[in-house]
Amino acid sequence: MFKPTPRHIATALLAAGILSGCSLAPQYVRPQAPIATAYPGDAAAQPGSSAGAPQSADAANAVDTITLGWRQFFPEPRLQALIADALENNRDLRTAALNIQEARAQYNIQSADRLPTIDAVAAGSRAPTGTGNNIATSYQVGLSLASFELDFFGRVRNLSAAALNQYLATEEARQAAQISLVAQVAQAYLAERAFAEQQTLAQSTLEGRQSAYKLAQKRFEVGATSALDLRLNDTLVQSARIALATLARQRAQAGNALTLLVGKPLADEPAGPTLSEQNLVTDIPAGLPSDLLTRRPDIRAAELQLKAANANIGAARAAFFPRISLTAGVGTVSNQLSGLFKAGTMAWTVAPQLVLPIFDAGRNRGNLNLAEVRKDLAVVAYEKSIQTAFREVADALVARGSLDEQIDAQQAFLDAQAERLKLADLRYQNGVASSIEVLDAQRDLFAAQQSLVQTRLLRLTNAIDLYRALGGGLNESAALAPTAAK
């Protein structure tokens, strides 16, 4: 039996390490971003710039702005507490964290194949010798190298690279889930605040209409008004009751949605400020579309999945080439247990094995085709993630300007309706107009009040959508003075 020295084994392992630098994976090239060079309506984007061009100073400042953390973007203490609880207790985020642990464990398993596995071995055997009743006894103790693959063509290395990119993609997915969770909690909280504000308006309106109905009833009893006027006042009371009951239900459901996101029952705390008093950051510069490639963790995750698919092609290609594995051992062998560590019992063994695929019924070709198709799918998914991100930012930018104008117009409309009601009531008191004119003005004023609250909610939600779409929400170290919402 050939008994090589430790120098022989070290030389073989060194050669295997050098040769394992060979890789059959295609050279990775990031696909061109299939988006326009500027956002529609974005003043921060530089005209004529390309998606891969260097950023201007303004665009670079925009990136710095987006890195502000959610504590700076949402300065209200109650909302901050809700977001912090959600980050700690939300079950979807816990699932994302566990997925990271799973991917990390998978990568550790796969990367371990790149290094030899050395085991301590102790064995004993007894067997007949075939002559008479003699029994042969053998004892062995030592170290063994269990079938270590000499990765000449990078199969193991590419599998390890694929597992690493899968692990990193899972981490990016968790960050994307965190950004989404922060935005969802903020939107659910603002929705609850909007319903609360509308409910207060409805309660005040109901009380006012009930007082007006009692007055109309007294006037009807003395013959100063008609039954039609009384019934019209009654319809306004009932419509206010309907609105109040509807808003109470919607507010309770919004609270339930917020509780689910936070992951625990909501603490009894004083109500937060109204929507007009919310001071979250609304003026967010968008920068260049190419910024999304580094800002958004979901895009980074999609690219890492693409890199993993690219590495799997290298592993599939390596399956067409010979696979060489090495089994070796060193230790002592003796036919007596007491003689294991005596002089002259040392033994070395090396057993290389070469496997050359000859006929596999197309299995290797099928695996390669599968790997190439999965890479093509990963390219499409990567490009789709970029297009989706671009659309989300573009939609938020387009809505931002129109919502600012809509709030101004809605406030002016509300002021006009309030003045109309004041004049209609004055005309009614002087006998110039009928009560129908007053009742119509009351109805329209209530609708205008409700619409203004909804428009303010849309404006704040739009700011959150833009913040999330631009990839903000992770860094909590940066600070930015908040701008009061309209």
Q: In this structure, what CATH number is given to the domain that contains residue 172?
A: 1.20.1600.10
Q: Is the pLDDT of residue 482 over 50?
A: no
Is the predicted pLDDT of residue 282 greater than 80, yes or no?
Answer: no
- 312 found inside a domain: yes
Smallest CA-to-CA distance from 275 within 184, 191, 372 is with 191
Residue 374 within any structural domain of the chain: yes
196, part of any domain:
yes
CA 181 to chain centre: 8
In-domain check, residue 187? yes
Whose CA is closest to 183, among 65, 280, 301?
280
Q: Which domain holds residue 405?
A: 6-44+63-126+135-469
Q: Is the pTM of this model over 0.75?
A: yes
Q: What mean pLDDT do residues 263-292 have?
A: 79
Residue 81 lies in a domain: yes
Region 289-314 average pLDDT: 89
pLDDT in tens, 113-156: 777 778 788 877 777 776 667 777 777 777 877 777 777 788 88
pLDDT at 65 over 50: no
pLDDT number for residue 102: 85
Q: Grade residue 44 by pLDDT with cuts at 50, 70 and 90.
A: very low
pLDDT > 90: percent of the chain: 29
Q: What is the mean pLDDT of the chain?
A: 81
Digit-coded pLDDT (tens) for 358-395 = 888 888 899 899 999 999 999 999 999 999 999 999 99
| Category of 3 on φ-ψ map: left (φ > 0), alpha (ψ -120 to 50) or beta | beta
Sheet holding 346-355, edge to edge: 118-128, 135-150, 323-334, 346-355
Q: Please give the tally of structural domains in the chain.
A: 1
Residue 483 lies in a domain: no
Which has more confidence, 90 or 431? 90
62 in Cβ contact with 286 (< 8 Å): yes
Pairing of strands 323-334, 118-128: unpaired
What number is the average pLDDT over the span 392-418? 91
